[in-house]
Amino acid sequence: MLKIAIYGKGGIGKSTVTGNLAAAFAHLGKRVIQIGCDPKADSTINLLGGTVMPSVMGYIREHDAEPERLEEISRVGFGGVLCIETGGPTPGLGCAGRGIIATFRLLEDMELFDSFNPDVVLYDVLGDVVCGGFAAPIREGYAEKVLIVTSGEKMALYAANNINSAVENFADRGYAKVGGIILNRRNVPDETEKVEAFAKERGLSIVADIPRSDDINRFEDEGKTVIEGDAGLFVSRKFIELAEKLLDEEKL
């Protein structure tokens, strides 16, 4: 089972990247679970036709009880991707990170991985602050590899550095390791040089270079990933090639 946590600064496009990567794995015939670990609970929206699904924490608040069946807190999206959103507390109350921890424990009790038997599990994690529950995919053994989404923008690279440092802090405990950088282009000046220098200084590779594309926005307006919209597009091939690369690395 390939288990990947995708981190990045808020607004950098990590949910777009994660959703398209999930769709790419599904396009390749793999059974995929995508778990959104963000209080906004919108990670899976483009796999679900533009619909925001109920979150785990939202269900618990509404029913004042934990769900008993996986179907109550999951939806099946494009390509059979099983979609789950952790959600978070009522805005202004409680810790969002605790929602992630509570959700993970609940999914363990439900024996999610044994029952669904996925080939790939993707965690879409807010990366501005890598602490508490937001670090759970790294430190609890849920993910084996971390991919960091960044552009060449200063604050995106700053967040990427914090994420890389956080993962390195767990290096001696057998937890997830950084598997590389996904360059999600914003077309800022000298973007290639900035991201390449950042990666080289930290001994990381750029595993994918996603171009800025109007096609992504066009299909998102329709509630779709570009893979669902047109798998033959240049930008779609970038996601499919990344999925193939990650699967090949898993075989090594």
pLDDT in tens, 32-44: 999 999 888 899 9
Number of Cβ within 10 Å of residue 65's Cβ equals 8
What topology does CATH give the domain 2-251? Answer: Rossmann fold (3.40.50)
The reply to whether 14 belongs to the active site is yes
Rounded-to-integer distance, Cα 130 and Cα 1, Å: 24
Q: Per-domain residue ranges for the chain?
A: 2-251
Compute the mean pLDDT over every residue in the chain, rounded to the nearest whole number. Answer: 92
- Residue with the bigger pLDDT between 59 and 39: it is 59
- Confidence (pLDDT) at 93: 60
pTM for the model: 0.94
Can you read off the two tokens belonging to residue 204?
A: 């990381």
Q: Of 116, 120, 112, 117, which is closest to residue 30 (Cα–Cα)?
A: 120
The reply to whether 224 belongs to the active site is no
Number of Cβ within 10 Å of residue 233's Cβ equals 16
Catalytic residue among 3, 9, 145, 224: 9
Catalytic residue among 30, 64, 114, 128: 128
Which residue type sits at 28?
Answer: L
Rounded-to-integer distance, Cα 157 and Cα 150, Å: 6
